[in-house]
Chain A
């Protein structure tokens, strides 16, 4: 088995240069965590969140911590600048910053270090800026707190360094007047404004659209490289970690299970968890397919079963010139029209999967709502089995709903917390008057079986289930009425990668067994590559490109699609197909 790895792009190559600061032996590590243990005190006693975590960041080095939610990766990083939540504490081990043990340093000392020595870029740009203060003010107070000049021109300089256009006037705006990407730039500006030697970047882009994500990460890379800042990057995406970091640390259930140079970890994962992670990370899987194609390898076995089917001519759903116009209330009682969906046409062949892809605001979810009949169309038609559903009456609509069922993004929000699992799945059967109590119970058991949940789960409530289990329940509920079409609106976006892979496999199996047709709404092209037969790309309400998945991925015609594809993390990696 060959381990030949090539990397693309000068930046990557530079980062892997053995002369990089990471390799020079006599340099003192900038941050060192030794046998770190973190415990949370809860009403049920102490819960260990992190155990024996060990990690070293050299000056100027980028180290990524990868893991699923709850793995302790953020907790570990936050502990380094004393930002554990109130009930958390370091119960063992030590944190050493630049030779100084700061594990139990005074509040005063930690405040001195924050901002000026250790900066932070947080995860969610929507919630991390204070909504009631101007952006400029929030930058300014950072500079001032760390004893740097904080005049308007200094603030503007910091913001424009982070790639914010027109920074001087933008500084006078409030966070809600910024887009997500711009807010994240402002947060990066704040994090780097005092030239810290270490930057903790906690999932800095996971809340953003893929194309924006890429720009922001590129910019962060360039800036930290120029400033010589070491970066501790927290991410759940192994592909992204491998692309951006010198060293990757994999955490699982509060422990570091594996650590090493990024590419080595990808190509030769030793710990079973890392192996699973490598095998199922969508960004990597997607690259793998591509690399395989380049190498001329037959790829069918790499794809989910559904994607390998031949074309079918039987169209179950045909959407034609679908348009949705919203009225937006303006000042003086006037309203302006906003075209969310603009003359969109596509169709779904029976038994296949069509994916609608686009960034947030592209109108893809509005399309899903209209196809589900939850939102009326302004014009155009949606034909289901040849019947236009936009003209259906109440009774016919009721029948239609039986045959087209949704699965939504957030498995925490889409299940009624007051309903137990049995009632959740049984409800659609009862509403549509299917069978009697006894046959319905049998049906629920069968459905649970189909989605690989034990029937003992019937009496449990949603809050007792994990995210993946809840999404399985949502799938079971969607399948209860034996629908022909299932509409998945970001159905796997909220799930961790491993769970995501399981759910995608489950969906593919169900499709093969039941002949379901899927309309898959997603922003994640990596997922599309694994599950879809057809892809429709939406931008600002318009459908800019569509075709079979292979066509679109191999030969993207519009610049927008190309940008979306390039933005899948791991673009710089070329993996030989046999590697993973």
Chain B
């Protein structure tokens, strides 16, 4: 088991190298002069441009730039963005908000998805099941920005139950609405996945045996049906956690959340190379760690899986 975890961490190295190289190359190939964005409309004197070029190693060939960047990362120095702020500080500033949002969305989609999926699965073919299935289909079919704007308008603007946008503090109540919107689509998937899995397991032989042992219906469902059914659901939730941590560009945009997604979006618009590469690399690492977490959780849920 320990060996397995060590091996998984070792696997992060090529992933890290490959990802940074690829992203660095893409940013490098962007058309236009990166210094133009820094200088703004009035432009800079040639001397200043040359200075900037030297500061950000833009005068070096691609490989040297990349290696210098790597050297920085390995010495825990992500460098500064084009506005001169340290990138590490920016990530440390915006990531907590995104993490909070992601975890809230994950909890919402997991709790509601599993509970609704369980009830629908146990009552297969009845009215609750059918209506929930139709609803989830609608949620999946409608684009996220439509749902986002719709809920912002109804709940935030019309009913005024909460602020339509999120302030710099990003409090729990402010984040609730964006978290619901963010979790909505995955909620529909979790629901469907749980439902299918429950239907499959509820007729399993060991469930019948558990019933024959004299267990109460409740215990049979919770201990024998639900736990077994959660195995595929957990896989999905884990992958989703990685995706959510990466910040949802659309949702964060709609609700003006100062999170990773928004920051990345602005960096791309500004052609801020160092910033884009650092954030994307950070996200890749988060994603890999989330996946590792899922695999470990998986082994805990299903003892037949043993990693060696």
Contacts and interface: CB of A to CB of B under 8 A. Distances in A.
Shortest beta-carbon contacts, A-B, top 5? A115-B214, A114-B214, A120-B212, A331-B308, A127-B205
Contacts of A107: 217
A130 B228 contact: yes
A368 to B, nearest CB: 29
Given A131-B303, A174-B304, A120 B209 contact: yes
A322 interface: no
B198 to A, nearest CB: 13
Contact of A81 (B204, B212, B228): B212
Interface residues of B, number: 26
A191 to B, nearest CB: 8
Interface of A: 81, 83, 85, 107, 111-116, 119-120, 122-124, 127-134, 141-142, 145-146, 174, 176, 187, 190-191, 194, 330-332
Nearest to A134: B303
7 contacts: A85-B203, A114-B214, A115-B213, A120-B212, A134-B303, A142-B213, A145-B219
B215 A145 contact: yes
Nearest to B4: A331
Contacts of A124: 205
A76 to B, nearest CB: 15
Given A122-B205, A331-B308, A131 B302 contact: yes
A145 B308 contact: no
Given A130-B224, A131-B302, A119 B212 contact: yes
Nearest to A329: B308
B214 A142 contact: yes
A127 B204 contact: yes
A145 B214 contact: yes
Contacts of A145: 213-216, 219
B210 interface: yes
Contacts of B215: 111, 115, 141-142, 145
B301 interface: yes
B227 A132 contact: yes
A115 B208 CA distance: 12
A133 B206 CA distance: 11
Given A83-B208, A122-B208, A131 B304 contact: yes
A187 B205 CA distance: 12
Contacts of A142: 213-215
A295 B215 CA distance: 54
A40 to B, nearest CB: 14
Contacts of B203: 85
Nearest to A200: B212
A132 B213 contact: no
B293 to A, nearest CB: 19
A81 B215 CA distance: 13
A114 B209 contact: no
B205 A141 contact: no
A73 to B, nearest CB: 16
B304 A176 contact: yes
Nearest to A147: B214
B212 A114 contact: yes
Contact of B303 (A115, A174, A190): A174
B76 interface: no
A129 B206 contact: yes
A141 B308 contact: no
A113 B213 CA distance: 9
A81 B214 CA distance: 10
Given A130-B207, A174-B304, 15 more contacts: A81-B212, A83-B208, A83-B212, A122-B205, A127-B205, A129-B209, A130-B210, A130-B228, A132-B228, A133-B224, A141-B213, A174-B303, A190-B209, A190-B213, A332-B3
B64 interface: no
Contacts of B212: 81, 83, 114-115, 119-120, 122, 191
B80 interface: no
B223 interface: yes
B302 A116 contact: no
A112 B214 CA distance: 7
A128 B204 CA distance: 8
Contacts of B227: 132
Contacts of B207: 130
A116 B215 CA distance: 11
B211 interface: yes
